[in-house]
Amino acid sequence: MKLRPYQEEARSAVQNEWQNNKKKTLLVLPTGCGKTIVFSKIIEDRVRAGERVLVLAHRGELLDQASDKLEKSTGLKTAIEKADQTSIGSFFRVVVGSVQTMQREKRLNKFPPDYFDTIVIDEAHHCISEGYQRVLKHFDESNVLGVTATPDRGDMRNLGSYFESLAYEYSLVQAIKEGYLSPIKALTIPLKLDLSGVKQQTGDFSTKDLGTALDPYLEQIAEEMAKHCLDRKTVVFLPLVKTSKKFRDILNAKGFKAAEVNGDSQDRQKVLEDFDKGKYNVLCNSMLLTEGWDCPSVDCVVVLRPTKVRALYSQMVGRGTRLFPGKEELLLLDFLWHTERHELCHPAHLIAGSDEVAKKMTENIEEAGSAIDLQEAEEKAAEDVIAQREEALAKKLAEMRKRKRKLVDPLQFEMSIQAEDLTNYVPSFGWEMAPPSDKQLQTLEKLGILPDAVENAGKAAKMLDRLAKRRAEGLATPKQIRFLEQRGFQHVGTWPFEGAKKLIDRIASNGWRIPSGVNPKTYSAEK
């Protein structure tokens, strides 16, 4: 099976991390981008090298899926470590194991600590839990690959407490732009749902309280859905089974063909197949379908289980992001949840590079009153945020002129070169959070960056890497940026080195005055 370009890149990146002795690494791929195929090929590489591999997951469906994909894409068969099934004595080099089974002391003790050379964790955002950690500590010399679809920085920071690096990340935006996933349109429904009385439980809202809080609004929500979803294939996520069943009945009364599935449904497989074939156009569930279920024809997702866990939100929306013939986009319905806490996930959080942009996106989508393409909304919000930053920077630069500082403030540098990845940088891994080293600080200062404002080693490393690349590409230096932007020239960071140098030489030969005919606000150096 031939891999897509990004899948091949991901495969190589993971192997490189292990070769460089970063034993615990992460791979982030959005739902629908073939993460199982990628880690199957990585497993094939390790088996060819003579290794023994363990695939860990927390649900039986995920293990079955991994085993099936592995055999279809590589020909490798697997042994199973689950309940009363064991891999002990099997000649297969790959074992798929349930974490619930593997974590038991009696089961773990059957395996020497060096039994597995490599461990792959599917849905790795779960791996911080005690059960996973018990297994991983037992096999602590193994190379570990965590695979997840979550785009969340908060999650990444949590994962950074165990993993040492992020080998490769393919963003949802890239996947949509390159035609591998469906475009997403978000529509905010002007229905205010009061969640201010809902308690928190294990870092998120209590599902029991959510169900009670949601009940009074179900009729109105169904009416809103009738305006937008009657001709769509829709999945609805709800907090409780009883709420899900009640909502199914309300939707059927409104003219939908709705079904409901839950963990106890005897006919679950039949209902899912019927939904796939078009017998139903709405499928209600209480968080059953967040992982391991695919129906590419879904073109509408309704999240009635508000959450502040972005991994969970991403999984819900991911049920509708796959491509399908005739499918133009995924419609994502968002609601005006009224809560005293403001950390709720919204469509913006799926693609926004920073909380600042996400907040602005959410405001813009709410004001629009119609479905808005998420990518367009992100671009507009990013422009708005940059404009606000530039206004703030202008004031800062005015103050800096008075101080006659010789070095460039990191923020000025980032804005000038238009580097959102630097401006929005948040450290994820332990080494990144440490203070910058003396060597990093000295090098930054030597290259013209004010080191005092660089807060951690990760940011320093990222900035030094960017400076080296800019030098190789022949772009303006920090000192050129400072000199020219202090005189009112715009975005000097995007100029070539030679273009900036020529202008500085002209200013110098003109007695350090700007030559006549040169307007700093409109001037741009020749490429």
Which secondary structure element, helix H or strand E, spans residue 175, and what is its range? Answer: helix 172-177
524: its two tokens? 């741009």
pLDDT above 90 for 161: no
pLDDT tens sequence across 125-150 = 888 888 899 999 999 999 999 998 86
**Are the C-beta atoms of 206 and 46 separated by less than 8 Å?**
no
Structural domain includes residue 361? yes
Cα gap 100→240, rounded to integer Å: 24
| Confidence (pLDDT) at 280 | 95
Structural domain includes residue 514? no
Same domain, 330 and 195: yes
Structural domain includes residue 244? yes
Higher-confidence residue of 341 and 354: namely 354
| Confidence (pLDDT) at 506 | 92
| Confidence (pLDDT) at 406 | 76
Same domain, 165 and 197: no
Q: Which residues contact 39 (CB under 8 A, 6 or more apart)?
A: 27, 55, 66, 120, 122, 145, 147
Domain count, the chain: 3
Same domain, 164 and 190: no
Amino acid found at 255: G
**Are the C-beta atoms of 316 and 333 separated by less than 8 Å?**
no
**What is the percent of the chain with per-residue pLDDT over 70, rounded to a whole number?**
94
Structural domain includes residue 282? yes
| Confidence (pLDDT) at 401 | 52
DSSP secondary structure code for residue 379 in this structure: H
Q: Last residue of some domain: 132, 147, 170?
A: 170
Query: Which pLDDT band, with edges at 50, 70 and 90, does 339 fall under?
Result: low
| Confidence (pLDDT) at 504 | 93
Q: Last residue of some domain: 358, 373, 388?
A: 373
Query: Which pLDDT band, with edges at 50, 70 and 90, does 156 fall under?
Result: low
304: its two tokens? 């009635």
Across 79-91, average pLDDT: 85
DSSP for 137-169 reads HHTTTSEEEEEE----HHHHHHHTTT--EEEEE
Beta-bridge mates of residue 300? 234, 331
Listed residue (63, 325, 321, 75) closest to 184, CA to CA: 321
Residue 228's domain comprises 184-373
Radius of gyration, alpha carbons of the chain: 26
Same domain, 362 and 221: yes
Structural domain includes residue 399? no
Same domain, 246 and 325: yes
Q: Which residues contact 303 (CB under 8 A, 6 or more apart)?
A: 237, 313, 316, 317, 332, 333, 334, 335
Same domain, 188 and 330: yes
Same domain, 417 and 360: no
Same domain, 484 and 460: yes
Across 226-236, average pLDDT: 94
Same domain, 12 and 117: yes
CATH number of the domain bearing residue 81: 3.40.50.300
Structural domain includes residue 384? no
Structural domain includes residue 526? no
Same domain, 228 and 283: yes
Structural domain includes residue 24? yes
Q: What is the mean pLDDT of the chain?
A: 87
**What is the percent of the chain with per-residue pLDDT over 90, rounded to a whole number?**
49
Q: Which residues contact 132 (CB under 8 A, 6 or more apart)?
A: 56, 58, 99, 103, 121, 126
Write the burial class of residue 426 (CB in 10 Å: 0-12 exposed, 13-18 middle, 19+ buried): middle
Across 406-430, average pLDDT: 82
Query: Which pLDDT band, with edges at 50, 70 and 90, does 441 fall under?
Result: very high
Beta-bridge mates of residue 337? 193
